[in-house]
Structures are given as C-alpha cells and as structure tokens.
Amino acid sequence: MNTISSDSVTSTALRRRCYLYQLGQIPYLEVWNWQRQLVEARKQNPGLPDVLLLLEHLPVYTLGQGASLEFLKFQTDSTVELHRVERGGEVTYHCPGQLVAYPILNLNFYQRDLHWYLRILEEVVIRVLALYGLPAERIPGLSGVWVEGRKLAAVGIKVSRWLTMHGIALNVDPDLTGFTQIVPCGIADRPVGSLAQFCPEVRLEVVQQQMATAFATVLGLDLLPIEGRDPTAG
C-alpha cells in the first residue's frame, strides 16, 4: 500500500482553520455554484478559512474540461443530466450512496504542487479504507484509489491561483448501474467498485465522519463544523 506519513504532510503547513459542512443529497449545479462562489471569495480575501464540503449528489454525469464525448454511451440530447465542468479528467458519474468531498483550500498555505495535492486526496481515501481493513492502493499512471483492481474513488480537481475546487468521489454504497452508461474516467478495462462490496454493513454517515477526520489528520486542519445548507451564506 502506497501511503504518505502524516508527519510528512502536516509539517508542510501551519494548522489551518477549515469550515466543515456535512450535507445531504444536493443537486450538482447548486454545489458547483457554491464552489465557484467560495473560491472567488478567497481570491478577494485570502485570509478566509478553508472549506470542506461532504455530501451526496442526485444522479448526474460530469465531463472534465477536456473530456471526450466518445466515452458516453448515451446521446448528449437525452434526458440524462450531463455537465461539462472545469475539473481535469474524463467522464464520471455521481449518485446517492457515493460520498463526495469538495475541499476549497488555499494551497499557498500548504504546497503549490498539483501532483502533491492529488496524492493527498488519494491518501485521505486510502486512510478511510484502511479503517475497514482494505488494502487500498494507487495504480501508476492512473488517478484515484483502487481495491483488488476495482476503482472505489475518483479524483478530479481544478486549481486557480492555488485555490482548489472539485475533489473526491468515494463509492460507499451506490447503485453502480449508472456507470454502465459511460466508460468511467476513460478506463475501459478496469471495473468500478464500492466499499459495500467488501463491507456490506457500511453506513455512509459513518464514512462521512471518517473522511472528515482523515482530511484533518492528513492536512493538519482544525475542522470547525458549521450548521446550515448554504456555505456561501455566512
């Protein structure tokens, strides 16, 4: 298992305050708009705390900014919700039962290194899966986190002026049939999997808290839980 020690990560940054929003099922466009507002606010005021959004999406497909339509198995004029967004990577699928994490971080306070940041996001998932005794790993040349050849978590980011948006999608216990309508992340020869396939009794609300704790540990964050649905309101 390829991991990063907590000391090697947290020593790169002063402890940062981070607002934590643990939300429910929210339409994709609503959260996408929140992310852009949060990033813009931090461009105007770099001293604002970081933000971590943890949530589920209603069924939706998203394409990275350079993603190819050849990886879709449906027509783009169909009733399926599909959005091209500014993250990297190919097409992916979000639905209930999948835990999505959107960190809005100012990498000027960590490391201005996109490869480092991608590995950090993977490390968060690896640590969560380790709690279930799963030997999660990275595969050279491919992003995301894998268990026994199945991709359990996808990673896609956008960074502007070293402010991050988008993030991680971990399949906890989703209906995986939605992935059959695409070539997930453009990888045709490796299956998508879920945590529930290995741990049938897993509960998403528990995994959500475990992911928050893993973020705090790996990045050296002081998490400040915030009540409320709209993180741009306060």
Total structural domains in the chain?
Answer: 1
Q: Is residue 230 part of a domain?
A: no
Instruction: Please indicate, yes or no, if residue 58 is contained in any of the structural domains.
Output: yes
Separation CA 169–CA 93 (nearest Å): 9
Assess whether 185 carries a catalytic annotation: yes
List 18, 95, 185, 199, catalytic entry? 185
Judge whether 52 lies within some domain: yes
For residue 66, pLDDT beyond 70: yes
What pLDDT does 9 receive?
A: 52
Q: Establish if 68 belongs to a structural domain.
A: yes
Q: What is the CATH number of the domain that holds 103?
A: 3.30.930.10
Question: Does a structural domain hold residue 105?
Answer: yes
Residue 231 lies in a domain: no
Let me know if residue 56 belongs to a domain. Answer: yes
Q: What is the mean pLDDT of the chain?
A: 92
Q: What is the pLDDT of residues 110-134, one digit of tens each?
A: 999 999 999 999 999 999 999 999 9
The pLDDT value recorded for residue 45 is: 96
What pLDDT score does 75 carry?
86
Kindly tell me if the per-residue pLDDT of 68 is higher than 90: yes
Counting residues of the chain whose pLDDT is more than 90, the rounded percentage is 83
Question: Looking at the predicted structure, is the pLDDT value of residue 93 above 80?
Answer: yes
Please name the amino acid found at residue 76. T
pLDDT of res. 86: 95
Whether residue 157 is predicted with pLDDT greater than 90 in this model: the reply is: yes
Poorest-pLDDT segment among 25-29, 150-154, 188-192: 188-192
pTM of this prediction? 0.92
Residues ≥6 apart with Cβ < 8 Å to 177: none
Secondary-structure breakdown of the chain: helix, strand, coil percentages, each rounded to the nearest 5 = 30, 30, 35
pLDDT of res. 189: 85
**pLDDT value, residue 11:** 45
pLDDT band at 188; cut points 50, 70, 90? confident
Strand residues in the chain grouped as ranges (E) = 16-26, 50-57, 60-63, 82-84, 92-94, 98-104, 137-139, 142-147, 150-160, 163-171, 221-225
Residue 209 counted as domain residue: yes
Q: Which residue range is the domain that position 191 belongs to?
A: 6-225
Over the stretch 217-226, which tens digit does the pLDDT of each residue have?
999 999 999 9
Structural contact between residues 53 and 229, judged by C-beta atoms closer than 8 angstroms: no
The pLDDT of residue 131: 98
